[in-house]
Amino acid sequence: MQRDEVVTIQFPNGSSTQINTGLFVSNKFISSESGKSFEVFNPTNGKVICRVAEASAKDVDNAVQAARDAFEQSWGLHVNGFERARLLNKLADLMEKEGDTLAMLEALDNGKTLAMAKAADVPKSIQCLRYYAGWADKIHGKTIEVNDDTNLVYTRHEPIGVCAQIIPWNFPLLMLAWKIGPALATGNTIVMKTAEQTPLSALKVCELIVQAGFPPGVFNIVMGFGPTTGAALSSHMGVDKIAFTGSTAVGRHILKSASESNLKKTQLQQITLELGGKSPNIIFDDADIAQAIKWSNFGIYFNHGQCCAAGSRIFVQESIYPKFIEEFSKISSQMSVGDPFHETTFQGPQISQLQFDRIMNHIEIGKKDAKLLYGGNRKGEEGYFIEQTVFTDVPEDSRIMKEEIFGPVVVINTFKDEDEVIRRANSTEYGLAAGIFTRDLSRAHRVARRLQAGTVWINHYNDYAMNVPFGGYKQSGIGRELGKYALANYTSIKSVNINLVLCLSEGHKWFKSDENECFSRSPFDTNLSTVILHQFSTQVI
Ligand SMILES: NC(=O)C1=CN([C@@H]2O[C@H](COP(=O)(O)OP(=O)(O)OC[C@H]3O[C@@H](n4cnc5c(N)ncnc54)[C@H](O)[C@@H]3O)[C@@H](O)[C@H]2O)C=CC1
Ligand code: BAL
């Protein structure tokens, strides 16, 4: 049933926009089969923004079928790379046109600052789509030399099929772009589940998908909660590939249910997971301290600490420690926490009451285990605001040292030498990212090589580029997103092996050689190989 439940979203700055709140299947907004919907909250004040349709397992079936039909009939092997590139570029252009609205939806729904959404989330999302549009007409295989006289072998990089993409709430638009860019460029179709906290910007993108001219069913969205909608999608027999970003606990669950459903295989890139982190950030005593403090602040507090790669464990070499923590706290106190629509705000609210409670619980643990240097409190009376919080003298076995907090909470400890800090930095179940601050380039490379992390930033932090792969070692994930590497996650390799042993009959008629000749391969005239190849596509041999 078509759902024309269009709501007007009013922004605090006086602007407004309309969005359709239905599930998005086959280029149409529809109601859920049960008619159920759920509330979406504004984290700045905890009030309801609107309701959106909630997908049941049956709705997920419907969306997967739409994606399957599109894959087999109008996308997949039916649309060439030039056309896929054109459509992705068109979508990027439309997102640029709607950039201000998308940024306001992110700020309202997620609580990130409007300034940051405009400066990072929206332009990086657009850049990501353009980057993958550039790849769409360059997806091709190789020829492999086996025996030029008798065999021609080539590979094809084919789309995998229907991809389930489950995204989190910390970068709603950007995670959508990271996922759909490589999937669509390589010819896959998508059923995406947005995070229950932040569905709004994706709904706006659905409108643009239609305007861009993507065939129905290529991109579909089901909204809902993890244990119901998410579980139905990740265990669906009609899904060929899963890409997930979120917690390590849910990632582990998805890995299990995906392999138990239709044997999706990690080695064939059919499951990619981008999970949690507890990333070390190491400041050596020869670093440019002012720069190290600036970037380390951004390393932990960017996006209110709600970054999987957040530099949440800072290690500072002993001789510069007093100066570092003094300056670090001073800067923390100057970064304003408040209304995300206010232009000077650096940090808005945390995403939800649940996340707020989880973070405050960690802060209480920290107050018992370590020394609270700065912050540690709720900010304001309403919404989910938390002060930037710094702990020092933190025992290695404290929960705030080991667990991902996903909030504006950092631990800062000292270290003596390189070997010691590398050992402590690697002493975690995670391996997503790491930072190194030093002026000694030899040391920078040496330490980068020994750190167990998928990304190492040297003399900066949280600096992303769409052509640079991102993903985790250890329990931080499987596979890589972004860059050329992500294309491999969305393609299956097919080897096409042609027996060129053919014989020329009198009158230039082609026929299959008899078995003996085939095996002996003696009658083959090598000069004819290109002619044979040319004819191969139209001859039955
Ligand atoms: N790697 C990252 O970027 C992120 C990491 N996290 C981590 O996860 C913690 C908890 O945040 P949550 O929002 O509760 O994360 P989560 O892992 O529960 O949610 C992420 C996505 O997975 C879906 N999901 C949840 N359970 C599912 C299931 N059984 N099957 C399929 N999909 C499911 C959710 O609906 C959402 O779309 C955070 O404190 C943080 O440590 C959260 C968000 C993003
Ligand atoms: N999950 C993508 C980037 C980040 O959270 O740091």
* Cα dist from 471 to 153, 454, 486, whole Å: 33, 5, 10
Question: 69-78, 278-287, 444-453, 514-523: which range is least confident on average?
Answer: 514-523
Question: 98-107, 250-259, 404-413, 523-532: which range is least confident on average?
Answer: 523-532
Residue 212 identity (one-letter amino acid): A
Is the confidence metric ipTM above 0.95 for this complex? yes
Residues with CB under 6 A from ligand 2: 170-171, 245, 274, 307-309
- For the segment 300-324, the average pLDDT, to the nearest whole number, is 98
Q: How far is the CA of 473 from the centre of ligand 2 (A)?
A: 14
CB burial string 431-452: b at 16+ within 10 A, e below: bbbbbbbbeeeeebeebeeebb
CATH topology of domain 22-30+54-275+485-493: Aldehyde Dehydrogenase; Chain A, domain 1 (3.40.605)
- For the segment 211-224, the average pLDDT, to the nearest whole number, is 98
Given a cut of 90, whether residue 57 has pLDDT beyond it is yes
What pLDDT is stored for residue 527 in this prediction? 42
Mutation test residue for ligand 1: of 193, 239, 247, the one with most atoms within 8 Å of CB: 247
Q: How far is the CA of 69 from the centre of ligand 2 (A)?
A: 32
CATH class of this structure's domain 280-465? alpha beta
Q: No. of H helices and E strands in the chain?
A: 17, 24
Nearest Cα residue to atom 7 of ligand 1: 247
Q: Helix 172-185 and helix 122-136: axis angle, to 10°?
A: 0
- The contacts of residue 447 (CB under 8 Å, 6+ apart) are 282, 418, 422, 436, 438
Q: How confident is the model at residue 4 (pLDDT cuts 50, 70, 90)?
A: low
Mean pLDDT of the chain: 92
- For the segment 388-404, the average pLDDT, to the nearest whole number, is 98
Residues with CB under 6 A from ligand 1: 166-170, 193, 195-196, 225-227, 230-231, 234, 245-247, 250, 253-254, 274-276, 308, 358, 404, 406
442 membership: H or E segment, kind and range: helix 441-450
Given a cut of 70, whether residue 249 has pLDDT beyond it is yes
Nearest atom of ligand 1 to the alpha carbon of 166: 37
Question: 28-42, 262-276, 360-374, 394-408: which range is least confident on average?
Answer: 262-276
Q: How far is the CA of 48 from the centre of ligand 2 (A)?
A: 26
Q: How far is the CA of 308 from the centre of ligand 2 (A)?
A: 5
Given a cut of 90, whether residue 540 has pLDDT beyond it is no
Within the chain, all domains assigned CATH 3.40.605.10 are found at 22-30+54-275+485-493
Q: How far is the CA of 470 from the centre of ligand 2 (A)?
A: 9
Given a cut of 50, whether residue 250 has pLDDT beyond it is yes
SS3 content of the chain, % helix, strand, coil (to 5): 40, 20, 35
What pLDDT is stored for residue 257 in this prediction? 86
Given a cut of 70, whether residue 534 has pLDDT beyond it is no
Question: 176-190, 302-316, 489-503, 505-519: which range is least confident on average?
Answer: 505-519
Nearest Cα residue to atom 14 of ligand 1: 247
Q: How far is the CA of 398 from the centre of ligand 2 (A)?
A: 24
- How does pLDDT run across 476-530, given as a tens digit for each residue? 999 999 999 999 999 999 999 999 886 444 444 444 444 444 333 333 444 444 4
Mutation test residue for ligand 2: of 110, 116, 169, 170, the one with most atoms within 8 Å of CB: 170
Q: How far is the CA of 329 from the centre of ligand 2 (A)?
A: 25
Mutation test residue for ligand 2: of 128, 165, 171, the one with most atoms within 8 Å of CB: 171
Nearest atom of ligand 1 to the alpha carbon of 274: 1
Catalytic residues: 274
What pLDDT is stored for residue 512 in this prediction? 45
Q: Which ligand is nearest to the CA of 433?
A: 2
Mutation test residue for ligand 2: of 298, 308, 457, 480, the one with most atoms within 8 Å of CB: 308
Q: Which ligand is nearest to the CA of 235?
A: 1
What pLDDT is stored for residue 267 in this prediction? 60
Nearest Cα residue to atom 33 of ligand 1: 226
- For the segment 135-150, the average pLDDT, to the nearest whole number, is 93
State whether residue 304 is helix, strand or coil: helix
- For the segment 407-434, the average pLDDT, to the nearest whole number, is 98
Nearest atom of ligand 2 to the alpha carbon of 178: 2
Q: Which ligand is nearest to the CA of 304?
A: 2
- For the segment 402-416, the average pLDDT, to the nearest whole number, is 98
- How does pLDDT run across 331-379, given as a tens digit for each residue? 988 889 999 999 999 999 999 999 999 999 999 999 999 999 999 999 9
Place of tokens 């039916």: 78
Decide the pairing of beta strands 280-283 and 313-317: parallel
Residue 402 identity (one-letter amino acid): K
- How does pLDDT run across 252-293, given as a tens digit for each residue? 999 988 888 876 776 667 899 999 999 999 999 999 999 999
What pLDDT is stored for residue 113 in this prediction? 98
The residue ranges of DSSP E strands in 246-398, in sequence order, are 271-274, 280-283, 313-317, 371-374, 389-392
Q: Which ligand is nearest to the CA of 244?
A: 1
Given a cut of 90, whether residue 436 has pLDDT beyond it is yes
Within the chain, all domains assigned CATH 3.40.309.10 are found at 280-465
